[in-house]
């Protein structure tokens, strides 16, 4: 593979398309951007190349294919990309069901399987396919690679992925826990093993990806053995607008006693709950920290519940792991919120965690490092980089040609 090789990484949502052009070896980004409000009357494209930021209003109704066409026609030229340097397009695909335990070169069979998994991720897989089809049209000569959010968690043992429901629901309908954020948990696990100076295959970690969506993963000898998201991204931790774990009986109560429709319940649990729902103020952790400091009781309570649930989950993962080499914080909140990290570690002192205040306060804005005192249980901050994992997987599949 030439040293100058580049991979274009695409992450398609229903009305957005994020893209990044990067070197799969060094992770250096040459171009990154997002098309937003796609399909609406005012779609917007914004992008940055080293030292420069741009944005452009697109024609009303413009969708994924238009963004990719612009990428091909103008943006890639802007980075003076040498002919032939672009070796692959890597796609983030949310759900690979039980069919994909690793990334895959895209052919018709892979496309069909992603479509079959769409009933498990109706909001995510169809836009992923839109991006794949648009990229195949734009780059018919390039290999396309799918990198699945669920793949890293395919090592979960049965006792961790099965719900205590009638077994036929798993056998016939594939209803089980799949987990998400796999590329992020995988990236920070590899980096944590490097920082600890241990082979990944001998490293036990708890990885906390805390962004608008949040999930916790127990990594044993480099493999995911439990994770907090389930069939859907709704299970587990408290998130920006999602509730995480609730009593399943709540759903019957909302329907029967309060007359809520399924659609209304879905909206309540996914978009109106979590930090936003409790605080009645915002889903943004920064804003809640500011408001809590000024005495806003809802903000204080939302952060308290968020941190308590997280600490409780971390303690629970001592069961599958027994020995923990490091607890890793990542994602927008994990990387930046000294407040959340402190509140969580304070509740885990019985597990040997002792915060180093200076390290905790100074580790943010893309910095990585240890935030617990030397000689106590290791807590690390590691900025995630899902684009790099996607680019690396794409490059290595192309290199191996399988």
Rule CB under 6 A: which of 341-380 touch ligand ADP? Answer: none
Paired strand residues for 146: 91, 104
> What does R_g of the chain's alpha carbons equal in angstroms?
21
Pairing type for strands 44-49 and 29-36 reads antiparallel
Give yes or no for residue 390 binding ligand ADP (CB under 6 A): no
Question: Can you tell me the distance from the alpha carbon of 146 to that of 89, in angstroms, rounded to the nearest whole number?
Answer: 9
SS3 assignment for the chain: CCCCCEEEEEEECCCCEEEEEECCCCCCEEEEEEEECCCCCCCEEEEEECCEEEEEECCCCCCHHHHHHHHHHHHHHHCCCCCCCEEEEEEEECCCCCCCCCCEECCHHHHHHHHHHHHCCCCCHHHHHHHHHHHHHHCCCCCEEEEECCHHHHHCCHHHHCCCCCHHHHHHHCCCCCCCCHHHHHHHHHHHHHHHCCCHHHCCEEEEEECCCEEEEEEECCEEEEECCCCCCCCCCCCCCCCCCCCCHHHHHHHHHCCCCHHHHHHHHHHCCHHHHHHCCCCCHHHHHHHHHCCCHHHHHHHHHHHHHHHHHHHHCHHHHCCCCEEEEEHHHHHHCHHHHHHHHHCCHHHCCCECHHHHHHCCCCCCEECECCCCCCEEECCCCHHHHHHHHHHHHHHHCC
Min dist CB 336 to ligand ADP, Å, is: 3
Nearer to ligand ADP, 161 or 388 (CB): 388
* 336 forms part of the interface with ligand ADP (CB under 6 A): yes
Tell me, yes or no, if 3 is annotated catalytic.
no
Catalytic residue among 59, 112, 149, 393: 149
54 binds ligand ADP (CB under 6 A): no
User: Judged by CB under 6 A, how many residues of this single chain contact ligand ADP?
Assistant: 13
Distance CA 218, CA 315 (A): 11
Q: Of 208 and 395, which CB lies nearer to ligand ADP in the complex structure?
A: 208
Q: Does 182 bind ligand ADP (CB under 6 A)?
A: no
Show binding-site residues: 11, 18, 92, 209-213, 284-286, 332-336, 386
* Residue nearest ligand ADP, Cβ-based: 332
Residue 31 exposure: Cα atoms within 13 Å on the Cβ side: 24
The CB-of-240 to ligand ADP minimum distance in angstroms stands at: 6
Nearer to ligand ADP, 159 or 365 (CB): 365
Return the range that interacts with ligand ADP (CB under 6 A); candidates 3-11, 26-34, 247-255, 285-293.
285-293
Is 244 a binding residue for ligand ADP by CB under 6 A? The answer is: no
Note whether 284 binds ligand ADP by CB under 6 A.
yes
Is residue 24 at the binding interface for ligand ADP, with CB under 6 A as the rule?
Answer: no
- Of the residues 143, 182, 332, 383, which one makes contact with ligand ADP according to CB under 6 A: 332
Span near ligand ADP by CB under 6 A; candidates 39-47, 207-215, 314-322, 351-359:
207-215
**Min. distance of Cβ 361 from ligand ADP in angstroms?**
12
Task: Verify binding: residue 285, ligand ADP, rule CB under 6 A.
Answer: yes
Neighbours of 392 (CB within 10 A): 22
Which stretch, 48-56, 157-165, 210-218, 257-265, contacts ligand ADP (CB under 6 A)? 210-218
Query: Which is nearer to ligand ADP, 97 or 332 (by Cβ)?
Result: 332
Q: Is 286 in the site for ligand ADP (CB under 6 A)?
A: yes
Q: Does residue 277 interact with ligand ADP by CB under 6 A?
A: no
Residue 213 interacting with ligand ADP (CB under 6 A): yes
Residue among 33, 128, 182, 211 that touches ligand ADP (CB under 6 A): 211
Return the residue of 333, 345, 394, 397 that touches ligand ADP, per CB under 6 A.
333
Taking the C-alpha atoms of residue 7 and residue 264, their distance in angstroms, rounded to an integer, is 41
Binding-site residues for ATP? 18, 209-213, 284-286, 332-336
| Interface segment toward ligand ADP; rule CB under 6 A; list 48-56, 152-160, 246-254, 282-290 | 282-290
CA distance 115 to 127: 10
Query: Considering the rule CB under 6 A, would residue 228 count as an interface residue with ligand ADP?
Result: no
Residues annotated within the binding site for Mg(2+) are 11, 386
Residues annotated as catalytic are 149
Residues at the contact surface with ligand ADP, assessed by CB under 6 A: 211-213, 240, 284-286, 289, 331-333, 336-337
């Amino acid at each position: 593979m030439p040293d100058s090789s580049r991979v274009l990484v695409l992450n398609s949502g229903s009305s957005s398309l994020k893209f990044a052009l990067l070197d799969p070896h060094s992770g250096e980004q040459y171009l990154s951007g997002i098309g937003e409000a796609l399909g609406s009357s005012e779609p917007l494209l914004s992008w940055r190349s080293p030292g420069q930021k741009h944005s452009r209003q697109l024609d009303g109704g413009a969708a994924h294919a238009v963004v990719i066409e612009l990428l091909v026609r103008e943006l890639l030229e802007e980075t003076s990309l040498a002919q032939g340097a672009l070796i692959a397009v890597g796609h983030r695909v949310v759900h690979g069901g039980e069919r994909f335990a690793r990334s895959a070169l895209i052919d018709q069979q892979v496309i069909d399987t992603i479509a079959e998994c769409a009933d498990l991720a109706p909001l995510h897989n169809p836009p992923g396919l839109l991006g794949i089809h648009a990229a195949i049209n734009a780059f018919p000569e390039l290999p396309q690679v799918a990198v699945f959010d669920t793949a890293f968690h395919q090592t979960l043992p049965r006792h961790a992925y099965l719900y205590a429901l009638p077994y036929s629901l798993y056998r016939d309908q594939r209803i089980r826990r799949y987990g998400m954020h796999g590329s992020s948990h995988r990236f920070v696990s590899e980096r944590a093993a490097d920082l600890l100076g241990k082979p990944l295959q001998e490293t036990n970690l708890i990885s906390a990806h805390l962004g608008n969506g949040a999930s916790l993963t127990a990594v044993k000898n480099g493999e995911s053995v439990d994770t907090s998201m389930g069939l859907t991204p709704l299970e587990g931790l408290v998130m920006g607008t999602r509730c995480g774990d609730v009593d399943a009986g709540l759903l019957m109560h909302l329907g029967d006693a309060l007359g809520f429709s399924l659609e209304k319940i879905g909206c309540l649990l996914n978009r109106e709950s979590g930090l936003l729902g409790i605080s009645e103020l915002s889903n943004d952790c920064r804003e809640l920290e500011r408001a809590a400091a000024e005495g806003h009781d809802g903000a204080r309570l939302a952060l308290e519940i968020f941190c308590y649930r997280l600490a409780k989950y971390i303690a629970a993962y001592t069961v599958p792991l027994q020995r923990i080499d490091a607890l890793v914080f990542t994602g927008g909140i994990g990387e930046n919120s000294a407040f959340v990290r402190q509140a969580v570690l304070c509740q885990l002192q019985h597990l040997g965690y002792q915060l180093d205040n200076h390290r905790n306060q100074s580790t943010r804005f893309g910095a990585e490092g240890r935030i617990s005192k030397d000689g106590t249980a290791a807590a690390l901050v590691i900025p995630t980089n899902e684009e790099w994992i996607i680019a690396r997987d794409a490059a290595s599949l192309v290199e191996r040609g399988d």
